[in-house]
Amino acid sequence: MTGVASLAPWLGGALLVSGVAVGVSRRRELIVRWCAWAVGVPVVTAAFWWGRLGVALLAGVVAVIAVLEFGALTRLPRADRTVLATAVPGLIVAAAWAPDQVWRVGAVGALALAAVPLVTGDAEQGLRRLGTSLLGLVWLGTLASLAPLGTVALALFAAVSVADVMAFFAGRRLGGPRLSPLSPAKRWSGTLCGAAAGLGVLALLSAWSWPAAAAVAVGGPAGDLVESLVKRGAGAKDSGQWLAGSGGLLDRIDSLVGALVMMVVLR
């Protein structure tokens, strides 16, 4: 709680400054996105303030929504989505209160996902369904690290969010080579500027470490490209339409998930 208290004024200040900048720009798209952040940042901060239970509840809700969007994008049948929407929160609960059982819970979830196409005898799409479901379990299951990481995860959330915004503006302003064919709108110039801004946020929040730096500078952009890969395969521009100015929830957390993957690997 003490760590969250030290971060909260910085997050509030950043939200206020960005709000002034967005208001001056008078761009409707940016104003709508800022309004979404104005709701999201206090909710996330309050969850971390509440402690492990609050973070686990937040991660669980986010995970279920993300799984449903992922399942819709990849055209997973309802049964596969249901099992995946149970397996990922199961990992979150295990990571929060029984960390020594995480691998066992993950293995049970993987077996359950494999059982669905086997039981239904899907010879045509079974392999695709299994591979897609396992990708969802590994990718979105990383949200389980939010509770164990604690305030470090909150600092990552702030750093990755700032990096995303900076990459968006710098890439459009500076131009240059594209980052990847998966996401033609993203430029190396924007990615590098975003990484520098994200690292600056880590330093400002006293959350600097080499794993955290790699998570923000490398894991964040990689997570964004992973979601772009999924959306390209689905022929979709956004993961959803319900989140004002942002499409779906996956479009907002893709960089954070990538950063969490890198953090878990390097810690």
State the DSSP string of 133-176: HHHHHHHHGGGGGHHHHTHHHHHHHHHHHHHHHHHHHHHHHH--
Task: Provide the 10 A C-beta neighbour count for residue 172.
Answer: 12
3-state helix, strand, coil in the chain (%, to 5): 80, 0, 15
Residue 2 pLDDT greater than 50, yes or no: no
| DSSP letter, residue 187 | B
Q: Which residue has the higher pLDDT, 96 or 29?
A: 96
Q: Integer distance in angstroms from the first to the last C-alpha of the chain?
A: 22
Over residues 62-76, mean pLDDT: 95
- Matching residue, tokens 């590994």: 138
pTM for this prediction:
0.89
Burial of 101: CB neighbours in 10 Å, binned 0-12, 13-18, 19+: middle
Q: Give the pLDDT of residue 244.
A: 60
pLDDT in tens, 94-140: 999 999 999 999 999 999 999 999 998 998 999 999 999 999 999 99
pLDDT above 70 covers a percentage of the chain that reads 87
8 A C-beta contact, residue 129 and residue 76: yes
Residues with Cβ < 8 Å from 39, sequence gap 6 or more? none
Handedness of CA 17, 20, 24, 29 (dihedral sign): positive
8 A C-beta contact, residue 22 and residue 234: no
Cα-based distances in Å from 223 to 98, 205, 231, 238, 266: 27, 23, 13, 15, 16
